[in-house]
A and B are shown apart, each in its own frame.
Chain A
Amino acid sequence: MLTVSNLNKHFGDLSIFENFNLHLAPNGFTALVGPSGCGKSTLFNVLAGVVAKDGGSVTLQGRDVSHLGTASAYMHQKDLLLPWFTLLDNALLPSRIAGENPDKSTTKARALFERLGLKGFESYRPGEISGGMRQRCALVRTLMFERELVLLDEPLSALDAITRRSLQSLLLLLQVEFKRTILMITHDIEEALMLADEILVLSGRPMRVLDQIYPGGTKLRRLDDPRLIEIKLYVLNLLQGELNK
């Protein structure tokens, strides 16, 4: 679905990635795990076209594109809800900007509010609800993007452990029920092990893939599975090795 080949990006003398490659299969869930500052968020910015790449190619469904532009949806670790809009208006932003039929979009958004446990909160403002609810609303907005590819930039990192657990299953909903292809940045190895079909362990700058891991099995995976514990220790060792360099 998405193929990134020989991607290069420098900031002055600082090389962020050199000849970086990535391939996402349709309807897959790929997690990027790497040390802080290795360039994961820069990769998202380059893919989204916010930051220009220095070289390499991006191919989306067989077509060469300079960047994904408006071909992907985006969910950030901050919920990025606009405080002057109600939750429903926030969720409707993508369809409003795209000029879609308001009645049809509202019906769809209301159904998603119900599906994600936000029914009854449509007219609330972001400042009136909890962080977990805000992030669920951000997820509704992400689902309102009619885009197959979803970029998740540490979407749950600002939440407490209990809220995270409940939202992790909702992220799977994106992939399974709504048939999205997901690329997620996370610092939480356990989160990657629970959710992802493929985990890419990344090195420090210049960023490259240290290993590709396929945890297998049925999701949400149980973290007390000895095989997953072994993988977790292996990934931690890889990352520790990077930090020691």
Chain B
Amino acid sequence: MKRSGVIALLVVFFALAAWETTCRVWSIPDFILPVPSRILAVAVMQAGLLLPHAAVTGVEVLAGIFISLMVAVPLSIAMFAHPAAENAIAPFLVASQAVPVFAVAPLLVIWLGYGIASKVLMAAVIIFFPITVNLLEGFKSCDQEFRVLFRLMGADFWQTLRLLYWPWALPHFFAGLKVGVSVATIGAVIGEWVGAQQGLGYLMIQANARLRVDLVFAAILWLSAMGLSLWVFVGYLERKVISWR
């Protein structure tokens, strides 16, 4: 294992040990702050309960990623191809991120209902911004000499996009996608908090009302694992796709 990995594991181990020790020494009750060992036990033992809810949240997140990609990629290309479009759209993009997701969530639930659609859209809204901005910056960062070369070869915009701009921007795209998938669960969970019948966010609200703080933490642990898995998967894809680095 790499040295950085060992250090990270040590940091996590000591933080959990300090947490466990503090709770036990001060006899903090489980409905205030459960010990990590209890949370882990609930996360494993209650897998039968957590898994169906996690599956719902997972579907919401994956659908959100798909929709955000369907919007972000063409939008970045359009803004890159037409700077006037960028000038017109950019203020709305920034404004969309300045509005707290919590403020929009109730509206989306009213418009799209208590089903999966409102949560998917919430996740998509959060993910699409880092992908769009990073991809656009990636296109723009292409060296002038390469652009001149393609111009002299007589390449049109779409040929240049396919052969030069897109591969050039791929590292930026994956950087944006990594940020996006890391925060994707936030949108889905907030949507579930506002109004849902399934999902880890819904389970957290239910558990919280019954002072099952250990189950709330277990749901958080599953959400973290979900985010981390997505992040690792995108990293794997990145290494496969950008094989020349």
Interface of A is mostly: mixed
CB-defined interface of B146-161 with A at 8 Å, one 1/0 digit per residue? Answer: 1011111111000100
Q: How far is the CA of A45 from the CA of B239 in the complex (A)?
A: 37
Q: Which residue of A lies closest to B155 (CB)?
A: A97
Contact with B along A61-90 (1 / 0, CB 8 A): 000000001101110101010111000000
Complex interface: chain B residues within 8 A of A80 (CB): 145-146, 149
In the assembled complex, B244 has its CB within 8 A of some CB on chain A: yes
The answer to whether A94 and B244 touch (CB under 8 A), given A82-B163, A84-B167, is no
The residue on B at minimum CB distance from A94 is B153
How many pairs, one residue from A and one from B, have CB atoms within 8 Å of each other in the complex?
A: 47
Query: Distance (Å) between the CB of A146 and the closest chain B CB?
Result: 11
Find out whether the CB atom of A145 lies under 8 angstroms from the CB atom of B149.
Answer: no
B242 partner residues in chain A, CB cutoff 8 A: 84
The answer to whether B175 has its CB under 8 Å from any CB of chain A is no
User: Which residues of B lie under 8 Å from residue A70 when comparing CB positions?
Assistant: 152-154
Asked if A14 is at the interface of the complex by the 8 Å CB criterion, the answer is no
Q: Which residue of B lies closest to A75 (CB)?
A: B149
Take A70-B153, A97-B154 as given contacts and tell me if A50 and B164 are in contact as well, using a CB distance cutoff of 8 Å: no
Q: Of A45, A76, A96, A98, which contacts B149 at CB under 8 A? A: A76
A48 and B152: CB pair below 8 A?
A: yes
B159's closest neighbor in chain A, by CB?
A97
Interface residues on A, range: 20 to 34
Q: Is the CB of B149 within 8 A of A74?
A: yes
Contacts of A74 in B (CB 8 A): 148-149, 152
| 0/1 interface trace, chain B 127-169, chain A, CB 8 Å (1 if under) | 0000000000000000001101111111100010001100100
Q: Which of B60-99 contact A (CB under 8 A)?
A: none
Q: Does A125 contact B (CB under 8 A)?
A: yes
Complex Cα–Cα for A80 and B144 (A): 11
Q: In the assembled complex, how far is the CB of residue B174 from the closest CB belonging to chain A, in whole angstroms?
A: 14
A37 lies within 8 A of chain B by Cβ: no
Say yes or no for A117: interface residue by CB 8 A criterion.
no
How far is A84 from B153 in the complex, measured between Cα atoms in Å? 18
The answer to whether B153 and A50 have CB atoms under 8 Å apart is no
Q: Complex: how many Å from CA A31 to CA B242?
A: 40
Closest approach, in angstroms, between the C-beta of A71 and any C-beta of chain B?
Answer: 9
Residues of A within 8 A of B154 (CB): 69-70, 97-98
Partner of B244, one of A50, A83, A93: A83
Residues of B within 8 A of A50 (CB): 148, 151
Scoring A residues 138 to 178 as 1 if CB is less than 8 Å from chain B, else 0, what string do you get?
Answer: 00000001000000000000000000000000000000000
Query: Does residue A127 face the partner (Cβ distance < 8 Å to B)?
Result: yes
Q: Cα distance A94–B159 when bound, in Å?
A: 11
* Cβ contact within 8 Å between B153 and A97: yes
Q: In the complex the two chains form, is B244's CB within 8 Å of A127's CB?
A: yes
Q: Which residue of A lies closest to B243 (CB)?
A: A84
Q: Which residues of A contact B245 (CB under 8 A)?
A: 83
8 residue pairs of the A-B complex, CB under 8 angstroms, read: A69-B154, A72-B152, A74-B152, A80-B146, A80-B149, A82-B146, A82-B164, A94-B153
Chain B interface residues toward A at CB < 8 A: 145-146, 148-155, 159, 163-164, 167, 242, 244-245
Query: Contacts A83-B244, A84-B242 given; 5 further ones with Cβ under 8 A?
Result: A50-B148, A69-B154, A80-B145, A82-B146, A97-B150
